[in-house]
Structure 1
Amino acid sequence: MDFQPLVSFVDRITSWRVPWAEVLVMHQNDIVFRYRSGYANLEEQTPISDRAIFNLYSLTKIMTCVAALQLVERGDMLLSDPVSDYLPEYAEMTVRKTLPNGEIRLEKATSLITVRDLFTMTAGFSYDLGSPSFKEAVHSTNGTLPTRAFAKALAKEPLLFEPGTHWNYSMCHDVLGALVEVVSGRRFGTYLREEITGPLGMNDTAFDLNDEQQTRLIPQYTYNDELKKAVRLDGNGYRVGAELESGGAGLLSTVSDYSLFLNALTGCGTSPEGVRILSKASVELMRKDHLNEQTRGDFSWDHMSGYGYGLGVRTHVSKSLSGSLSPLGEFGWSGAAGCMAIIDPDSKLTVMYAQHLLNSQEPYVQRRLRNVVYSCL
Structure 2
Amino acid sequence: MKTAKPQDQGFDPDRLNRIASWMERYIEERKFAGSSVLIARGGREVYFHAAGLRSVENFTPFQRDTVARIYSMTKPITSVAAMMLAELGLFHLDAPVSTFLPAFRNMTALVPGAERIDQVEPCAAPTLHQLMTHTSGLSYPFNPGVLGREMDNRKIIFGPKQGLLADMADQVGDLPLAFHPGTRWEYSVGIDILGRVIEVVSGQSLDEFLAEHILKPLGMTHTAFTVPDELSDRFASLYTPLAGNAMDLNAAQPGGDTLRLTDCAGSSPFEATTLYSGGGGLVGTIDDYMRFTEMLRNGGRHRNGRLLSPKTLDYMMRNHLPGDIASMGPQSFAEQPMEGVGFGLGGSVVLDPARARCPGSAGDFSWGGMASTFFWMDPALDLSVVFFTQLSPSSSYPARAELKALVHGAMIS
Q: Does 1:167 align with 2:214?
A: no
Note the C-alpha offset of 1:8. 2.0
1:109 Cα offset (Å): 2.7
Compared with structure 1, are the counterparts of its residues 234 and 186 closer, same or farther at alpha carbon in structure 2 (3 Å cutoff)? same
Render the CA deviation track for 1:1-40: whole Å, top value 9, x for unaligned: 2212222222222222111111000111111100011111
The 5-angstrom pairing of residues 189-228 of structure 1 reads 189-224=207-242, 225-228=254-257
Q: CA deviation at 1:228?
A: 4.4
**Following the alignment from structure 1 to structure 2, what is the Cα–Cα distance between the partners of residues 246 and 288?**
25
Q: Which moved more, 1:3-12 or 1:246-255?
A: 3-12
For the residue of structure 2 that corresponds to 1:353, the secondary structure is: strand
Q: Which secondary structure does the structure 1 equivalent of 2:111 belong to?
A: strand
* Counterpart position of 1:116: 129
Moved more, 275-284 or 103-112: 103-112
- Picking from 265, 274, 295, the partner of 1:264 is 295
Question: 1:362 & 1:221 partners in 2: Cα distance?
Answer: 11
Q: Does 1:4 align with 2:22?
A: no
- Cα RMSD after superposing both structures: 2.5
Matched, 1:44 2:31: no
Q: How does 1:1-377 map to 2 (within 5 A)?
A: 1=11, 2=13, 3-16=16-29, 17-98=31-112, 105-128=118-141, 129-132=151-154, 134=156, 145-224=163-242, 225-234=254-263, 242-271=273-302, 273-292=303-322, 296-299=327-330, 301=334, 303-361=337-395, 364-377=398-411
Aligned with 1:198: secondary structure? helix
Check conservation: 1:98, 1:105, Cα contact below 8 A: no
Any conservation in 2 of the 1:97–1:105 contact (CA below 8 Å)?
no
Q: Shift of the alpha carbon at 1:199?
A: 0.4
Aligned pair count reads: 369
Mean Cα deviation higher: 73-82 or 229-238 = 229-238
- Secondary structure at the residue paired with 2:368? coil
Query: Does the aligned pair in 2 maintain the 1:6–1:376 contact within 8 Å?
Result: no
Structure 1, residues 194-230: CA drift from partner, whole Å, max 9, x if none?
A: 1100001111000012210222212111125442431
**Partner Cα distance (1:308, 1:343) in 2:** 15
Further displaced range: 177-186 or 283-292: 283-292
| Letter in structure 2 aligned against 1:52 | T
Q: Which shows bigger deviation, 285-294 or 22-31?
A: 285-294
Residues 118 and 175 of structure 1 are in contact (CA less than 8 Å); yes or no, is this contact kept in structure 2? yes
TM-fit CA distance, 1:73: 1.2
Q: Tell whether the 8 Å contact from 1:133 to 1:154 is kept in structure 2 after alignment.
A: no
Residues 70-79 or 273-282, more deviating: 273-282
Q: How far apart are residue 363 of structure 1 and its match?
A: 5.3
Q: Distance in 2 between matches of 1:221 and 1:294?
A: 32
Q: CA deviation at 1:133?
A: 8.3
Moved more, 104-113 or 230-239: 230-239
Cα distance in 1 for partners of 2:301, 2:130 equals 26
Shift of 1:168: 0.7
Q: Indicate conservation of the 8 Å contact 1:146/1:242, yes or no.
A: no
Change in Cα spacing, 1:248 to 1:276, as seen in structure 2 (3 Å) is same
Q: Distance in 2 between matches of 1:316 and 1:338?
A: 19
In structure 2, distance between residues paired with 1:229 and 1:83: 41
| 3-state SS, counterpart of residue 81 of structure 2 | helix
The residue identity in structure 1 corresponding to 2:310 is K
Structure-2 separation of matches of 1:108 and 1:238: 38
1:111-152 C-alpha deviation (Å, 9 max, x unpaired): 2211111101111112124344859x99xxxx6521122211
Q: After TM superposition, give the deviation of residue 336 of structure 1 in Å.
A: 0.5
SS in 1 for 2:263: coil
**DSSP 3-state at the match of 1:292:** coil
Distance between the aligned counterparts of 1:285 and 1:49, measured in 2?
35
- How many Å apart are 1:110 and its aligned residue? 2.8
Runs of 4+ in structure 1 off by over 4 angstroms are 102-105, 235-239, 299-302
Structure 1 gap segments, 5+ residues each: none
Q: Contact (CA 8 Å) 1:303, 1:363: kept in 2 or not?
A: no
Q: Give secondary structure in 1 for the equivalent of 2:188.
A: coil
CA distance in 1, matches of 2:324, 2:52: 44
Aligned partners of 1:288, 1:238: CA distance in 2, in Å? Answer: 35
Question: Structure 1 stretch 164-173 or stretch 39-48: which is displaced more?
Answer: 39-48
| 8 Å contact from structure 2 (residues 323, 342) kept in 1 | no
Report the 3-state secondary structure (helix = DSSP H, G, I; strand = E; otherwise coil) of the residue aligned with 1:214.
Answer: helix
What letter corresponds to residue 178 of structure 1 in structure 2? R
For the residue of structure 1 that corresponds to 2:152, the secondary structure is coil
Note if contact 1:267-1:348 (Cα within 8 Å) is conserved in structure 2. Answer: no
